[in-house]
Structure 1
Amino acid sequence: MRVLPPGARAYILCAVLAAIACVAPALTDSGTPWATVALLAVLYLGCELVKNCPLPGSRVPEGIGSFFPVVLAAVFLLPPAAAALVALPGGLAGTVVQRPARVRRVWHCAQQSMAAWVAGQTYRLLRGPEALGSGGSGPPGAADPPVWVADFPYVMLPAAAAAVAFCLVLTALDGGILAVAERRPAATAWRGLLTRSLAPHCVHGLAGLMMAVMWRSPYGLPAALLVLLPMYISCWVFAQYHRERAAHRATIRALVQAVDIKDRYTRGHSERVGQASAMIARELGMAEDRLEVVRIAGILHDVGKLGVPTRLLRKDGPLTPDERRIIELHPEYGHEMVRGIGFLGEARSAILHHHERVDGSGYPYGLTGDQIPVLARVVAVADAFDAMTSTRSYSRARPVEVALAELARCAGAQFDPAMVGALTGAIGRHGWHPVVTSDDDLQVISGASPPGGGQGSPTLAALPGQGARPTAATPASPAPPGAGT
């Protein structure tokens, strides 16, 4: 608790006290159906524990959240206080990936317990228990057999209202803890929470209702479990998918961080090239899945720098021809490094060919026009644009308008005109708001000229490769800070 601000501690304590007040009536009421409470609590606990079981050879999946159909089934089958009690074991067993873990588990318990109680009260207010049908709510084999008299479709109204109430309480409490624990402004603490959560909670509510209906049917608990099983398997598979995606992101992040550490002059460049590449792809109307591949290609385009001697990447003076030839190997180094990473797909060819030029004077293979992969042509434009609008050791940043004009001048010889036009159109509509990850890499995001008025800034077409620094042989006509050195 010592890592939390005092306001957050007080907020959590109030939530715990409120949760105790919610479950207390069930503990003192002699009519609480303990058999059903115990079965549902164990079932919810089991769902949370099994959900955390990874595939063989993998780690525990993260990010799926809690499996709420069981809790919502308890809301439909039990009094509100008893439903609040069912939420406690699963809340304690839920996935926690950040510290302090114990405090977060207690918070989840209190949060879910209060949400279940409010959902139960909402369900009763709309006469949900009567619509679901009376009858035994205990396990199969109880003295009184269950009676299945559910009033469809009316029963779906109180069930939906209960699911919405459950979601509202959870998101309201989540926003509150963000406001007090992370000191977020009240205007932003709740932003997006409800819209992201409402649809999943409604789906969980529908599954919980079907489970409750089957529980009350002549088939009892086995039928309820059969309703629950397909959805649970789907959620578990989604957890594995989410874990795999998180591993992909971690791989990309590690590679980019390694490049940034090695080449301090281009720190943040990779993220911005990915951002500009995605803007071009979206302007061209590419599908969302391919747009993500383009973004990853932009982020990883310079990963081959890891194979280039650090002294060359950090050299302040002009490069010799031999040094430049070494640096021009970085696309091939990068392609070799990522060739075995299957999820990169089309991004691998963009890493290899992002220094090709449409007139054939680029490297490493001197491809021309449509021989150059589409993604490589996208990344080439994004790379050169960010290089021109960033301050490097060998050049000052240029205004966005000047950089776009230079790209347009070189379109048809160095760059694909369609890609240049797409970037110009995207920036014209949305502006250029780059991701800034380091104070050492200053970005020009307005039309103001850089110090010195931009005089002596490099020309893109001065040398065959758009990504080189000035060479010792051509001190008077330096090449652009282009796409990758």
Structure 2
Amino acid sequence: MRRIPGPARAYILCAVVGAGACALPAVLPGADTPWTTVALLAGLHALSEVPGRSPILGRLLGGSTPVGSAPVGSGSFFPVLFAAALLLPPAGAALAAVPAALLGRVDRRPAGVRRVWRAARLALAAGAASAAAALCGGPAVLAGPALPYALVPAGAAALTCCLVVTALDGGILATAERIPVRTAWRGLLSGSLGPHLVHGLAGLTAAVLWRSPYGPPAALLVLLPVYISCRVFARYHREQGAHRSTIRALVQAVDIKDRYTRGHSERVGRASVLIARELGMDEERLEVLRFAGILHDVGKLGVPTRVLRKDGPLTPEERRVIELHPEYGHEIVRGIGFLGEARDAILHHHERLDGSGYPYGLAGRQIPEVARVVAVADAFDAMTSTRSYSRARPVPAAVEELKRCAGTQFDPRMVRALVRALERHGWEAAVTADEPAVPAQPSRGRGGTPARQEAAPAARHRQGG
């Protein structure tokens, strides 16, 4: 335990002592522990860890990694624990949680300490859940007509288990990870309460069937599809996490290379979602638009840094290099299948409605809808952000510029959607250059009209985004 901070070692030791005290009554002389039920539930719970340690089963049930993949919260197939909490006394329920926690897959060192901590955590949670169920009359309810009366002890067990787990998790974050105490528990309860209640219902169903004339085999028939569903759901979340990590890495690479537009991609993603929501797009397309907005400038990775960071006007040759970034971006993300339509937005977000854009000079409806959305979001954020080569315009001025260019550069429908969204939600202009934001009116040209670099909003972000 030399790698673990002292406070965390003390915290884990206290948890182990508490778990031992919780389980001890089961082995004392004279204890009426139903060892057959304890063994069956402990074995069933332990079997939930087999796919995490088996490459073949891991790939079949919930992962595509070469060595399999453990479920989310390894050692925590909670429907079995909730069934144990309803069927067993607190000491027996605590014991039933231990084998799976000790056998579960651990990817980070020190593995032994992590297994012991997990076992203590789940034993305390299961014992507390069983005690809560008993206080609400759980055993008596299961002995008679269980439903709907058993919903109360089942709900009490699920809520208690959730509270204990989140309390312990917050403590270990504060002591082992040195996360500030004020933030260690933030979001833990709200994120886990729903899943615990759902798993509580599955555990209740298994417990009712366990006590029925059909016995444990019927309970197994309930728990098996629930377990497979949990594995599939865990796989989905792992894939979503991998998607987010991929996008985050690409965006960070662009931000490092082009410091003058840092944060721009995230805001374009947000503005794209605002527009899409006003257009009534479904949630799946909203996510696509968010990805498209965030990654629209990923092609800058293929543009020389000296061009991206140039403070003065670009030469015609440099501008031609900049205008290659949509194609570079499309090539970079070509093999990322989950992006879907977002790839079209990355390639075509600099096309113009009148056909004078790039890279292919598409016009009107030839331009993909997602690209027309991102084009408006991109230009709007560029105009309302302070950069090294241009000062931010006020939001009303940027909106007027978008309206002026609607029908030639931008799709009027997308512009109107953005205007409606801004009226509802507002917009906080941001600084993307290494200088403070100073709200400023556009400079005036010789004739007293606003001077424009190329008489179009897109020209203000001459770096292509």
TM-score by length of 2: 0.85
Paired residue for 1:212? 207
Change (3 A) 1:456 1:193: farther
After alignment, is 319-328 or 423-432 more displaced? 423-432
Mapped partners of 2:367, 2:227: distance in 1: 46
Shift of 1:483: 7.2
Which position in structure 2 is the counterpart of 1:64?
A: 72
Q: Which residue of 1 aligns with 2:130?
A: 120
Question: How far apart are the structure 2 equivalents of 1:340 and 1:440?
Answer: 32
How far off its partner does 1:301 sit?
0.9
Report the 3-state secondary structure (helix = DSSP H, G, I; strand = E; otherwise coil) of the residue aligned with 2:388: coil
- The alignment status of 1:481 with 2:461, answered yes or no, reads yes
The alignment partner of 1:111 has SS state of helix
Tell me the equivalent position of 1:74. 84
For residue 39 of structure 1, what is the aligned residue in structure 2? 40
Give the whole-Å Cα distance in 2 for the aligned partners of 1:125 and 1:408. 66
Check the 8 A contact 1:390/1:398 in 2, yes or no.
yes
Give the partner amino acid of 1:298.
Answer: G
Contact 2:388 2:433 in 1 (8 A): no
Kindly state the Cα deviation for residue 328 of structure 1 after the two structures are TM-superposed.
Answer: 1.0
Q: By how many angstroms is 1:396 displaced? A: 3.0
**Matching of residue 17 in structure 1 with residue 25 in structure 2:** no
- Aligned equivalents of 1:55, 1:76: Cα separation in 2: 32
**Equivalent residue, structure 2, for 1:136:** none
Task: Say if 1:283 and 1:426, in contact at 8 Å, map to a contact too.
Answer: yes
Q: Please list the CA deviations of residues 41-85 of structure 1 after superposition, one character each: whole Å capped at 9, or x if unmatched.
A: 222122034256532752544773321111111112211111011
SS in 2 for 1:408: helix
Q: Which amino acid aligns with 2:391?
A: R
Kept in 2, the 8 Å contact 1:301–1:350? The answer is yes
Q: Name which of structure 1's ranges 373-382 and 49-58 shifts more when overlaid on structure 2.
A: 49-58
Q: 1:355 Cα deviation (Å)?
A: 0.5
How many residue pairs are counted as aligned between the two chains?
A: 451
Q: Give the aligned partner of residue 328 of structure 1.
A: 323
- RMSD over aligned CA atoms reads 3.2
| Residue among 33, 46, 55 paired with 2:59 | 55
Residues 282, 441 of structure 1: alpha-carbon distance in 2 compared, 3 angstrom cutoff? farther
> Residue 257 of structure 1 corresponds to which residue in structure 2?
252
2:340 alignment counterpart: 345
Q: Which digits, 9 at most, give the CA deviation of each residue in 1:209-255, with x for residues without a partner?
A: 22223333344332221121111111111222222222222322232
Q: Is the 2:387–2:433 contact (alpha carbons within 8 Å) kept by the matching residues of 1?
A: no
Change in CA separation of 1:88 and 1:269 when aligned onto 2, cut-off 3 Å: same
Q: Taking structure 1 as reference, are residues 317 and 286 closer, same or farther at Cα in structure 2, changes over 3 Å only? A: same
TM-score by length of 1: 0.82
- Give secondary structure in 1 for the equivalent of 2:22: helix
Distance 1:460 1:362 in 2: 21
CA distance in 2, matches of 1:292, 1:434: 23
How far did 1:298 drift?
0.7
Q: Deviations over 1:128-177 (max 9, x none)?
A: 112212xxxxxxxxxxxxxxx55333233222222222222223333444
1:330 aligned partner, one-letter code: H
CA distance in 2, matches of 1:155, 1:2: 46
Conserved in 2, the CA contact under 8 Å of 1:280 and 1:422?
yes
The 5-angstrom pairing of residues 405-444 of structure 1 reads 405-433=400-428, 444=437
Q: Secondary structure at the match of 1:55?
A: helix
Tell me which moved more, 375-384 or 287-296.
375-384
Instruction: Name the SS for the 1:319 alignment partner.
Output: coil
Matches within 5 A, 1:379-394: 379-394=374-389
Given the superposition, is the C-alpha separation of residues 386 and 314 from structure 1 closer, same or farther in structure 2, using an over 3 Å criterion?
same
Match of 1:173 in 2: 168
Deviation of residue 354 (structure 1)? 0.4
Tell me how far apart the structure 2 counterparts of residues 96 and 76 of structure 1 sit (CA, whole Å): 29
Deviation at 1:10, TM superposition (A): 4.3
**Could you list the runs of 5+ residues in structure 1 that have no partner in the other structure?**
134-148, 468-478
Give the deviation of 1:178 after TM superposition. 4.4
Farther-moved stretch of structure 1 (88-97 vs 266-275): 88-97
What residue in structure 1 maps to residue 219 of structure 2?
Answer: 224
Measured in 2, the distance between the counterparts of 1:387 and 1:295 equals 17
Confirm or deny: 8 A CA contact 2:71 2:231 kept in the other structure: no
Identity across the alignment (%): 64
* Change in CA separation of 1:97 and 1:314 when aligned onto 2, cut-off 3 Å: farther
- Using the alignment, how far apart are the partners of 1:483 and 1:63 within structure 2? 44
